[in-house]
Structure 1
Amino acid sequence: MVAATGIVGNGAYGVLRGPRVKRVTVPLARLPRSAHGFRIAVVSDIHLGPVLGRGFAQRVVDTINSTQPDLIAVVGDLVDGSVEDLAPAVAPLAGLRARHGTYFVTGNHEYFSGAEPWVEHVREIGLRPLENARVEMGAFDLAGVNDVTGENYGDGPDYDKALGDRDPGRAAVLLAHQPVMIHEAVKRGVDLQLSGHTHGGQLWPGNFIADAANPTLAGLERYGDTQLYVSRGAGAWGPPVRVGAPSDITVVELASKRA
């Protein structure tokens, strides 16, 4: 009992203190030399709600900004609740700072909470939603697709809209909340997909369930010519406890093989 209490208590403290920074270097064959060292701060699964509120959001923002990224990617499951209830909790995200801006894609929990109002709200506070869309970052293409849960709401991912008609000679980075979306990314020649959703399992025995349901539980793996990076996420869903799956904000540094 003492050991179990200690483990749970430490797991709760690990969530509430805020995520730690993890750094990963990802070589991309098509990335030009000019983009070598480009840094993307990846944050997923913040899960702002009744337990993790405005103070937690501010800790996440401060941690991201401290890394001085070139670009910030918020890859879904930002909230667990409505805009009406959680707008004050989300407000600190207006303070996110990156040279090339902050981009957002929906996760499954946005659809449970009202995806359309949340997309409009994050736009209002300065994040740029990528709703099945693509932007040219100069050295590479950044694309984002809606979460697969959106299919139940008539608002699912459209890979052709996000990735079609692009120059195949340019590197492409895709923001997609769920790792299972990697199979479509491979078909379309994406170089790197950035995802979350799994929480790295969060809490035993959830790690076994999440591992069985996702191609990658956490970290970097290769699928053919496409690489997939899965963050464990910044927050927690359900009990604010993590055991064996510490929360993270990941700085993904892109590396050119031509450098």
Structure 2
Amino acid sequence: MSRVGMIFVVIVMLSIYGGVNYYIAGKIYQWLSLVFPYLNTRLYIGIYIFAAFSMILVFLPLPFVVKNIISWLSAHWMGIFIYLLLFIVIANLVILIGSMINLIPNPTPESIYFYTGLIVILLTTSFVTYGLYNANQIKHVSYDIQMKENNLQEDIKIVLISDLHLGAVNSEKRLKNIVKKINQLEPDIVSIAGDIFNDDYNAIQKPEEAIDLLSSIKTKYGVYGSLGNHDGGGTFDDMVRFLERSNIRLLSDEHVIINDEFILIGRVDPSPIGGFKGLQRKEIADIITSIDDTNIPIVVMDHTPTKLEQYDGIADLVLAGHTHRGQIFPGNLITNAIFEVDYGYYQKDATSPHVIVSSGVGTWGMPMRVGSNNEIVSITLH
């Protein structure tokens, strides 16, 4: 896309975002005016504009401390904005339909606006509060997978995590608990299926502590990672060094043979934000040709669960993330419509691989989970 085209897209997006915020701000002001007749209009407008445009300010080159504050505000505002919009639209549709079928008088009484506004505020507060709480809970999900017959000498336990999003709001606060829970599962191998970072390595507030924590993961055969779409950009080299120091082996369209029992392949994500410093995704067929023995089971880490048919007849198991299962309702309805499988276990037919898509162990954007969970996945290969 040309520079002019990019500028046009940005202007359109900002216009839409501004228009939607104008709509929300007007409806909230209408309700607040009923509750607080002497509401300071200028103060309200100033606070709302600052909160709404924190999502834009976060991209400016601000001092580190200021940027962290703006990032915290913008992340929380994103969730508040989504639920305010959702519930205001629903409330106004109810009023409109009620007026059309004569259940609600026309013009609409102030009492109706008061109670619908109150319901919107209470629902938004409830969903956001629950989302913040639930995002700090780490669930455990387990699967049993039957691999190619007689190839494994003994059962293998893989612990899968994805979407750590280190650098995002609250990401580092969860890390100690994540590592503790991984070690409690006593994995043979740990697979990190992409989005280890959140676009910018410098957003990690305490990288040395994060390195020490990740280095303390205990496994029999090691910790392996693949690149997600948020693992690129200008600080890509810093991300790679971070993984090396954390004893995480990055597989970039590469493979490793685990205990002569199965092959683990890590794919490069097809849509990196900011690129991988020239690193390009290979075709799976090209990766397979570099493997001497393909008669043992093949497990693939591929961050984004798209074009799964490419693994038919090749891979036994595909491990993915990316979708967050929509992260907050109604996002799960969108991911379910977009992806062939947006969460959990899936196998299309007998010639297709087993597929496990994790909802992720961290959050992107708003530090909230509604209708989905942060999770650690254990997979026993038989």
Q: TM-score, normalised by structure 2?
A: 0.62
Considering fraction of residues, name the structure with more strand: 1
CA pair 113-209 structure 1, distance change in 2 beyond 3 A: farther
Give the Cα–Cα distance (whole angstroms) in 2 for the partners of residues 54 and 165 of structure 1.
37
What whole-Å deviation, never above 9, does each CA across 1:12-45 have from its counterpart, x for those lacking one? 111124x21111111112462413x210000001
2:246 corresponds in structure 1 to 125
Higher relative contact order structure (alpha carbons within 8 Å, sequence separation ≥ 6): 1
CA pair 201-84 structure 1, distance change in 2 beyond 3 A: closer
Larger Rg: 2
1:120, CA displacement in angstroms?
Answer: 2.7
CA contact (8 A) 1:72 1:103 kept: yes
Considering fraction of residues, name the structure with more helix: 2
Matched, 1:63 2:170: no
Give the Cα–Cα distance (whole angstroms) in 1 for the partners of residues 294 and 369 of structure 2.
41
Correspondence 1:1-259 to 2 at 5 A: 1-17=121-137, 19-30=138-149, 32-35=151-154, 37-86=155-204, 87-88=207-208, 90-91=210-211, 92-112=213-233, 114-137=235-258, 138-150=260-272, 153=276, 154-158=278-282, 159-166=284-291, 167-186=293-312, 189-224=314-349, 225=351, 226-255=353-382
1:51, CA displacement in angstroms?
Answer: 1.3
Q: Among the aligned pairs, what percent are the same residue?
A: 25
2:102 corresponds in structure 1 to none
CA pair 103-5 structure 1, distance change in 2 beyond 3 A: same
Q: Which runs of 5+ in 2 are unaligned?
A: 1-120
Give the Cα–Cα distance (whole angstroms) in 2 for the partners of residues 178 and 116 of structure 1.
22
Q: Which runs of 5+ in 1 are unaligned?
A: none
CA contact (8 A) 1:145 1:162 kept: no
- Write the letter of the residue equivalent to 2:359: R
CA pair 155-110 structure 1, distance change in 2 beyond 3 A: same
- Write the letter of the residue equivalent to 2:270: V
What whole-Å deviation, never above 9, does each CA across 1:139-173 have from its counterpart, x for those lacking one? 11111111112495542322244322432321100
Give the Cα–Cα distance (whole angstroms) in 2 for the partners of residues 31 and 245 of structure 1.
36
What whole-Å deviation, never above 9, does each CA across 1:65-105 have from its counterpart, x for those lacking one? 11110000011111214334422463221211111000010
Output the aligned Cα RMSD: 2.1
CA pair 162-118 structure 1, distance change in 2 beyond 3 A: farther
CA contact (8 A) 1:105 1:145 kept: yes
Give the Cα–Cα distance (whole angstroms) in 1 for the partners of residues 182 and 233 of structure 2.
26
Q: More displaced, 137-146 or 107-116?
A: 107-116
Q: TM-score, normalised by structure 1?
A: 0.89
Give aligned pairs, total.
252
